[in-house]
Amino acid sequence: MKTQVAIVGAGPAGLMLGHLLHNAGIDTVIVENKSRKYIEERVRAGVLEQGTVNAMIDSGVGDRLLKEGLQHDYIDLRFNGEPHRLNIKELSRGRSVWVYAQHEIVKDLVAARVGYDEPLYFEASDVSIHDIDTDKPSVRFIHEDKEQLIDCDFVAGCDGFHGISRGMIPEAELRVYDRQYPFAWLGVLADTPPASQDVIYAYHERGFALQSMRGPDISRLYVQCPVADTVEGWPDERFWREFHARLEISDGWHQQEGPIFQKGITGMRSFVCEPMQYGRLLLAGDSAHIVPPTGAKGLNMAIGDVQIMTRALTSYYQEGKRDFLDKYSDTCLKRVWQVQRFASMLCYNLHRFPEHNQFEHKMQLAELNNIAHSRQAMRAFAQSYTGLPVELFYDLE
């Protein structure tokens, strides 16, 4: 088969790229090694920047998000036993964040793809990418016991951190920047309404804690824990004890307990590879970068990447111009490093590091006080938290 862009991976990055390119009249084929059921039920973070929300709405797949998503105009920073409520919508001049689970976005994008009947291969095995350093790259895979070949102009690697795409860039050309953090998050889904409609970030001497939600009746809750901890070492009673200790303060706020129906431990990592393109291969999302979940930027970075990639490919096909295409990696990486800076800053200032002494503790509190009380710092925080528009990073106009 032949297409203009072969997309490896049907996560949010690959599906959104396929959708945006379809709207631009560019042919694509998407290949995914998991089943449709798996990707539609895989639970991931669900805090969306304003730009991600706008991309969903403007491209025609935002109806359910508008009906079921929860818009948040405030966040609550808690430290020293006090709440500090920030009006992020006012501080960022009208931008908010929304809570809408990642697997719901995947459902919306898969339904759209199936609706306009463009190729989407689930449960593909032995996927391989070839000849990206020529003008005739290809993707090979096996589907339903038949060998398949896609001849294409470009390959979009949207297959995540453990996918094959990044490995296609020659080692001599690839630079990797990596940081492992000395703690993890224990996250739970609990069948109980969130005690606050604000997302709450708490810095506490016992460790970080976070209150978020997956809907009006489901709470998404986290506590910092050691990297070596296991889910079995965190029975429900221990989780609730730690969560209450870290978030509850003198104002009487209290999270009602409820049955915990999902529990998992997530390590914390920052990762960036450069470049994000080589020959006819372009990377997007987790295949090129990982951020710690503080600030919920991973999905939003992926959507930013594919918006930039869509503009590059649209300019190439519709106008015969390579300017945006040749600058794809540089444009993405400018934004990626700014988001990494913000996520790392939050990670540093909200967690207790095992090696820190009281000096570092005081420095963390000083930075949190600055965010909570300096109007300039509040604005900078709100602008990064609600998302830096991709348009800020183009240097060709």
7 forms beta bridges with: 30, 156
Active-site residue (options: 297, 316, 327, 351): 297
pLDDT, tens only, 353-369: 999 999 999 999 999 99
Burial class of residue 356 (count of CB atoms within 10 Å of its CB; 0-12, 13-18, 19+): middle
- pLDDT for residue 147: 97
Strand partners, 83: 78
What is the pLDDT, as a whole number, of residue 136? 95
User: Catalytic annotation on 385?
Assistant: yes
Dump pLDDT digits (tens) for 19-30. 999 999 999 999
328 is catalytic: no
78-83, long-range: CB within 8 Å, 24+ apart, which pairs?
A: 78/200, 78/201, 78/202, 78/203, 78/204, 78/247, 78/249, 79/202, 79/203, 79/204, 79/365, 79/368, 80/365, 81/249, 81/250, 82/249, 82/250, 83/200, 83/249, 83/251, 83/253
pLDDT band at 297 (very low <50, low <70, confident <90, very high): very high
* pLDDT over 70 (residue 38): yes
* C-alpha separations of 174 from 40, 97, 288, 325, 370 in Å: 32, 34, 11, 19, 38
- Phi then psi for residue 331, to 5 deg, are -65, -45
pLDDT, mean of residues 156-177 = 97
pLDDT of 4 strictly over 50: yes
- Is the pLDDT higher at 74 or at 45? 74
Annotated catalytic residue: which of 137, 293, 317, 328?
293
96-152 confidence digits (pLDDT tens): 999 998 999 999 999 999 999 999 999 999 999 999 999 999 999 999 999 999 999
* Burial group, residue 230, by CB count within 10 angstroms (0-12, 13-18, 19+): exposed
Residue 44, φ and ψ in degrees, nearest 5: -135, 180
Paired residues of 177 in beta bridges:
272
Phi, psi of 328 (to 5 degrees): -55, -55
pLDDT of the residue at 396 = 44
Cα–Cα distances (Å) from 363 to 176, 201, 302, 367, 384, in that order, read 29, 17, 32, 6, 21
Residue 297 annotated as catalytic: yes
* Residue 246 to residues 189, 199, 202, 243, 381, Cα–Cα distance (Å): 18, 15, 7, 5, 23
Amino acid letter for position 322: R
* φ, ψ (nearest 5 deg) of residue 77: -95, 125
- In the chain, domain spans: 5-72+97-178+269-352
What is the average per-residue pLDDT within 59-84? Answer: 94
Amino acid at the residue 308: I
Which residue of the set 12, 19, 72, 121 is catalytic?
Answer: 72
Q: Do the strands 120-121 and 125-130 form a parallel or antiparallel pair, or are they unpaired? A: unpaired
Output the six-digit token pair for 127.
């996927």
Give the pLDDT confidence of 198-255 residue by residue, as tens digits: 899 999 999 999 998 887 888 999 999 999 999 999 999 999 999 999 998 877 788 8
Strand 218-225 relative to strand 209-215, pairing: antiparallel
The reported pTM is 0.93
State yes or no: pLDDT of 397 exceeds 50: no
Catalytic residue among 100, 121, 181, 201: 201
Domain boundaries 5-72+97-178+269-352, corresponding CATH code? 3.50.50.60
> Over pLDDT 70: what percentage of the chain?
99
Q: Tell how far CA 381 is from the center of its chain.
A: 18
Residue with token string 């096909």? 317
Average pLDDT, the chain: 94
* pLDDT at residue 162 is higher than 90: yes
Nearest to 295 by CA among 338, 354, 265: 338
Residue 289: burial class (beta carbons within 10 Å; 0-12, 13-18, 19+) = buried
**Mean pLDDT value of segment 334-344:** 95
Phi, psi for residue 395 in degrees, rounded to 5: -120, 20
pLDDT of residue 190: 94
The answer for residues whose C-beta is within 8 angstroms of residue 105's C-beta and 6 or more apart is: 12, 16, 56, 65, 299
What does R_g of the chain's alpha carbons equal in angstroms? 21
Among candidates 159, 147, 167, which has minimal Cα distance to 6?
159
